[in-house]
Amino acid sequence: MFAHKNLILASGSPRRQQFLSDLKLNFTIKIKEVEEVYPTHLCAEEITDFLALLKANAFENELLEDDILITSDTIVWLHGKALGKPKDTEDAVKMLQQLAANTHEVITSVCLKSTRKTEVFHCKTKVTFSDLSENQIRFYIQNYQPFDKAGSYGIQDWIGLVGISKIEGSYTNVVGLPTELFFKKLVDYVEKP
């Protein structure tokens, strides 16, 4: 289906890389350092849409005719505020204390870019945490080092097993890529020039 296309994943996330492998897609990885700064008036999916497009635009004029670039961004949205990746252990503790006994949204945006067109789409999943003790939070951070994860947690980790009481929407979105939506959009992108 994609044999005549060169899929390029511009992400250092091992979870996104694994998902593309699991989808049986042939792809290469190209990473560019992009300062992930967005206008302060943006909210929720506006932030992730903006950042996914920003990452894609870093490759402007470098793509060849058969290339399809894939970029992505994920945030945790809680009480009208974006939680990104934690700066350090105490920042991670603070984030997880905010998430405990609360429901938040995980929002992932994906950008598909070629020499012909650019498309951005997003997915939202509601995640509810049960109450977490400080000991549980510190145990998790010490043993799982979630410093590369938005909101300081990975749903696939220990904390997902003991701390998440409810999820509404795509599980893979919370891990880092809404695979069902992504695959559907990728097929449409290739089939509808």
- Tell me whether residue 126 is in a domain: yes
pLDDT score recorded for residue 84: 87
Of the pLDDT bands very low, low, confident and very high (cuts 50, 70, 90), residue 22 is very high
Catalytic one among 49, 67, 73, 88? 73
The per-residue pLDDT for range 99-112, each reduced to its tens digit, is 999 999 999 999 99
pLDDT at residue 182 greater than cutoff 90:
yes
E strands, the chain, are 6-9, 27-29, 67-78, 81-83, 103-113, 118-129, 164-168
The answer to whether residue 1 sits within a structural domain is no
Please tell me the distance from the alpha carbon of residue 61 to that of residue 13, in angstroms, as a whole number: 24
pLDDT at 98: 97
Please determine, for residue 193, whether its predicted confidence score (pLDDT) is greater than 80. Answer: no
What domain range is 177 assigned to? 6-191
Asked if the structure places residue 155 within a domain, the reply is yes
pLDDT band at 192; cut points 50, 70, 90? confident
Tens digit of each residue's pLDDT (9 = 90 or more) over 127-143? 999 999 999 999 999 99
- Is residue 187, in this structure, part of any structural domain at all? yes
pLDDT at 1: 76
Measured between its terminal Cα atoms, the distance across the chain in Å is 14
Residue 38 falls within a domain, yes or no? yes
Mean pLDDT value across the chain: 96
* Number of structural domains found in the chain: 1
The 10 Å Cβ neighbour count of residue 128 is 15
CATH code for position 165: 3.90.950.10
Summarised one tens digit per residue, pLDDT across range 26-76 is 999 999 999 999 999 999 999 999 999 999 999 999 999 999 999 999 999
In a domain, 68, yes or no: yes
Under 8 Å between Cβ of 143 and 161:
no
Query: Is 157 considered catalytic here?
Result: no
Give the pLDDT confidence score for residue 71 in this predicted structure: 98
Q: Within a domain: residue 85?
A: yes
CA distance 182 to 123: 9
